[in-house]
Amino acid sequence: MTGNAKQYDAIIIGSGFGGLYALYHLRDKMGLNVRAFDGAGGVGGTWWYNRYPGARVDAPSSPFYAYTFSQELVDDWEWKETQTVGPDVLAYLEHFADRFDLLKDIQFETWITDARYDEAAQRWTIETDAGETATAQFLICAVGALFVANKPDYPGIDDFAGVSFHTGRWPHEKVSFAGKRVGVIGTGSSGIQSIPEIAKGAAHVTVFQRTPQYALPARNRPISKEELSRYREDWDDLRMSMRRRGGWPFKTNRRRASDYAPEQRQAVYEELWEEGGIHLSINSYVGVMSDKELNDEVSEFVRGKIREIVRDPETARKLMPDYHFGTKRLILDNGYFETYNRDNVSLVDLREDPIEKFTHASVCTKHGEHPIDMLVLATGFDAVSGSMLNLNPKGRGGVSLKEKWERRFDNYLGATIAGFPNMFMIHGPGAPGVFFAMPLGGELTTAFIGDCIKHIHDKNLGAVEATIDAETSWDREINEIANRTLYPRTNSWYMGANIPGKPRQFLGHLRGSHYFDRLSEVAAGGYEGFVFEPVREEVTS
């Protein structure tokens, strides 16, 4: 079967931030023969698909939600705003692909229908939906942490005859809401970013909310040329700070809440709310994400802000979040709560008034019928594990990832899986993912993967594989870190709780800088937790 197959050193699946960098690193820095595949029609991953109105960077500032490794790249890209719009991020990634001549090694509009490890050959074989076959010693899965769309299965939803979009599969053509009654289900980052924009054009927007959210004002602003110049001059230091400080180059405040009087703490919260962005969560007092009392205080502060902004007390009541502040992904908003002061926006609280069914022209809840012309599903993703399961590689003995991960997403270092030799993940379960600057996280993970591949080549080895014991202790380590915080107490996609039937497991690593130290230590210490196989006879003969 592999007779006509094209042969590579490494195959990369995905050409978003992670996959593009992996292609650059393995091909240009290591000289490997690499091919990347992507089902999309162009580069960008998340930013290729998430074209909904209002999509913006929700990181502290755009220049740091970008590759860090190349001073030239930093010098030649002009970030315009702190929370830059989605099309600009996509343009940046297209520029990156162009500048480093990556396109010639990416095959677009090609889905991988099978990925299978051949134990005798110590290689991966992939098949595409175009009927092609290719093999490589290494398979790099850069399939995206937020890719598999979660679509609710309400009775009759497929009978809805109006236009319907998922925010994560937004069409490339401009969508007009003019004169339309739009129903939006979901109030996570995508819903909260898009609702204010949709409301500006639509005749009416009905928001169907299951869980009210804490959202902090993004305070998006233009980035001046002087500011960009400063970043460029200090780039090496900033990059080091990002690496050391959990992904962002900002000093966080180390003050203890108990050293301050309640009025002083409120004044600090006010100041940080005005500053905007994630400052309220990272810069107030130590322990906001682990000390319940302190977290309650910050939660109440944000609820107070929502009450101040939203004029109708009944709507404000429905918008009150009651989980621990920050334990779902913190959302940076651009006028979200203010949108409820518009006459053309109404809110349905699904906890009091659940959706019962759809008709061809309306959403029927327990207490009413809501006629709509358009439906926007801002209902999120089968996050982190979902895209790996969608690929469903078959490892040693033909065992599929779906079998291996039936009850738990076992992995080692968030990058490898026992039973799946020579396969690596970027932003897999157990990696910091969204808890760190993802572009830099991808660079650092790829450096680890590259070093491991180099180790294999230098020592003339055939395969590398994580051990089950390493997976077990890694799982313990991840959970110990998570259990010291309030995160596991909340039903969030971090816990897999947004997908019915999905195993509950904390899907990230909360201490990104520590995580990347661990990767370096593992590499420097001779790859503890991995076994290496010599090159098999039949491969060399």
**134 with 11: CB under 8 angstroms?**
yes
329 scored as a contact of ligand NAP (CB under 6 A): yes
Q: Which of 25, 27, 35, 56 binds ligand NAP (CB under 6 A)?
A: 56
Query: CA-CA distance, 378 to 186, in Å (whole number)?
Result: 5
300 CA to centre of own chain:
28
193 scored as a contact of ligand NAP (CB under 6 A): yes
Query: Considering CB under 6 A, how many residues would be counted as binding ligand NAP?
Result: 26
To ligand NAP, the closest distance from the beta carbon of 38 in angstroms equals 19
434 scored as a contact of ligand NAP (CB under 6 A): yes
188 scored as a contact of ligand NAP (CB under 6 A): yes
Residue 332 has what DSSP assignment?
Answer: E
Residue 220 has what DSSP assignment?
Answer: -
To ligand NAP, the closest distance from the beta carbon of 272 in angstroms equals 20
Q: Which of 58, 88, 349, 443 binds ligand NAP (CB under 6 A)?
A: 58
Binding to ligand NAP (CB under 6 A) within 136-165 occurs at 146, 150, 152
**Closest residue (Cβ) to ligand NAP?**
188
To ligand NAP, the closest distance from the beta carbon of 368 in angstroms equals 16
Query: CA-CA distance, 10 to 520, in Å (whole number)?
Result: 22
207 scored as a contact of ligand NAP (CB under 6 A): no
| Comparison of 6 and 357: residue with beta carbon closer to ligand NAP | 357
Binding to ligand NAP (CB under 6 A) within 364-423 occurs at 378-381
| Comparison of 136 and 146: residue with beta carbon closer to ligand NAP | 146
Instruction: Name all contacts of 493-498 with Cβ < 8 Å and 24+ positions apart.
Output: 493/188, 493/328, 493/329, 493/380, 493/381, 493/383, 494/327, 494/328, 494/329, 494/383, 496/383, 496/385, 498/150, 498/380, 498/383
- Comparing CA positions, the residue from 212, 202, 210, 152 lying closest to residue 180 is 202
Q: Which of 10, 12, 43, 57 binds ligand NAP (CB under 6 A)?
A: 57
Query: CA-CA distance, 334 to 331, in Å (whole number)?
Result: 10
101: helix, strand or coil: coil
350 scored as a contact of ligand NAP (CB under 6 A): yes
211 scored as a contact of ligand NAP (CB under 6 A): yes
Binding to ligand NAP (CB under 6 A) within 487-526 occurs at 493, 498
Q: Considering only the stretches 93-101, 182-190, 399-407, 475-483, report the one whose residues sit in contact with ligand NAP under the rule CB under 6 A.
A: 182-190
Q: What angle do CA 507, 512, 514 make, to 5 degrees?
A: 120
Q: Which residues 6+ apart lie within 8 Å of 212 measured at CB?
A: 187, 318, 319, 320, 321, 322, 349
Q: Which of 18, 60, 191, 395 binds ligand NAP (CB under 6 A)?
A: 191
Residue 62 amino acid letter: S
| Comparison of 87 and 179: residue with beta carbon closer to ligand NAP | 87
Q: Among positive and negative, which fits the CA dihedral 227, 270, 287, 408?
A: negative
| Residues of this chain that bind ligand NAP (CB under 6 A) | 56-58, 146, 150, 152, 167, 185-191, 193, 210-211, 329, 350, 378-381, 434, 493, 498
